[in-house]
Amino acid sequence: MYEAVTRGIRIRVEPQYVDDQSSPDENHFFWSYTVTISNEGEASVQLRSRLWRITNAVGLTQEVRGPGVVGLTPTIAPGESFSYTSGCPLDTPSGIMVGSYQMEDGKGKLFDVAIPAFSLDSPFTQRSLN
């Protein structure tokens, strides 16, 4: 599990390699990841948008931006959490994801919340010791 806290908003990410949606012989590797956003602050916040930077094993990076997550822009009250699961395909057996959510506080002020970097490792990843 990977975790980061920004301004009282805790982001937890749990990635998982999905074998039955992957085809290693065709250089197609797929992961699901579950994100839990917990509001440990004193005021409600609304998730407005997301930014992901997805980097494969050879260093190619793609950015994904858009409104909300999985079609939703949830409002999260103090002490509450919101979870969702999404997926990420890669053409290499490993990679890394990192990003941010743009949140809006009750006064209409926007602020960014860090999504911690997390690794996407399949059973086909070659490991080396440094």
- Write the class of the CATH domain 2-121: mainly beta
Residues 7-49 have pLDDT tens digits of 999 999 999 999 999 999 999 999 999 999 999 999 999 999 9
Indicate the pTM of the whole model: 0.92
- Estimate the share of the chain in helix, then strand, then coil, as percent rounded to the nearest 5: 5, 65, 30
- Condensed to tens digits (0 to 9), the pLDDT of residues 56-93 reads 999 999 999 999 999 999 999 999 999 999 999 999 99
Specify whether the CB–CB gap between 71 and 52 falls below 8 A: no
